[in-house]
Amino acid sequence: MAARLGLGLPQMRQYSLGSDVPDVARAAERLGYESLWVFERALFPEPATQGLYGMDGVPWPDEYRNVADPLVTLTLAAAATERAELGSSVLVAPLHVPFQLAKALASLDVASGGRVLAGLGTGWSLDEYAASSVRPFAERGKVLDEIIAVSRAVWGPDPVVYDGSLTKIASAVVGPKPVRPIPILLAASNQRAFRRLVDHADGWLPAGFSTEQVRAQWRQLRELAEERGRTKPIRTVLRVNTALEPKPHDGADRRTFQGSVDQIVADLVPFTEMGIDEFLIDVQSGARDAEELKDVAAELFEKARAAGV
């Protein structure tokens, strides 16, 4: 069975936010993409205190200088579409106040008719934490735990009661409620994060590492779920960041799928074979404008389906 296909929405500075997001969202839904996705990059430090993904000496890509707010982008897409799910991969959760984030996601779910997927992670940028986080970087895991717990409480029945380190709700009616329980998907790549996912989340958001890495992590996650008695399936959505080039990738950056459209599709086949449920294909950084983004998205969709992806 072919995997579901999702498309990254245009958030970068070469796009016109108000017109290009609805345009691309409508086009993607017409093509057959089943989900639309955003990511979060709060700022571009200059000079940066750390490299990309926290790796020394790796520069931040220039396109990170201007990235539109993820929830605003999803709202524009929600108003322009009818069927596609609306996901984040990822919201850097500790940059948000837990109660306000939960209420915003619930409101978006109602506005979209129950299509929101809350993809959350802890992030890696010290500069973003210094500017925007609700707690220090060292406490990011605890903040994510509270955001998940607050969200479940806020989305659940009234009266809402919660007593945490960041959030105090004595007893309150909180609306609107989501159309259905919003799925929470987590970025996770270590044992502690896997335990959080198995115990408290609905799905996993692996990044585009090597097939071997993802396969090993997926095996580890399934084994942990069995060990902890989880029977509910874990939904998997692989982020596919692309860099379209005339020749195959050289393996230098395993978070990016490089090469021609044909090469990128070929690289996705092994992930399909291991049982990944969905691919989030993001082509926005390499496209000059919305028209080129739509053209590449159409070619990728057609060739992925022809290849059984």
Measured between alpha carbons, how far is 183 from 277 in angstroms, rounded to an integer? 15
Six-digit token pair at 13? Answer: 């500075």
- Successive 10-residue mean pLDDT values, the chain, 309 residues: 93 98 98 98 93 91 96 98 98 98 98 98 96 96 98 98 97 98 96 97 89 94 98 97 67 65 93 94 96 98 96
Full DSSP string of 227-277:
HTT--S--EEEEEEEEEE-SS---SS-TTEEEE-HHHHHHHHHHHHHTT--
The reported pLDDT for the residue numbered 249 is 45
Measured between alpha carbons, how far is 193 from 206 in angstroms, rounded to an integer? 12
pTM value is: 0.95
The reported pLDDT for the residue numbered 255 is 60
φ/ψ (deg, to 5) at 225: -60, -40
Q: Indicate the SS3 state at residue 205.
A: coil
Six-digit token pair at 277? Answer: 């449920």
Residues 6+ apart with CB under 8 A from 97: 134, 166
The reported pLDDT for the residue numbered 246 is 56
Residues 6+ apart with CB under 8 A from 255: 53, 207, 208, 209, 241
DSSP H helical ranges for the chain: 17-31, 70-80, 98-112, 126-132, 140-155, 191-200, 211-227, 261-273, 290-306
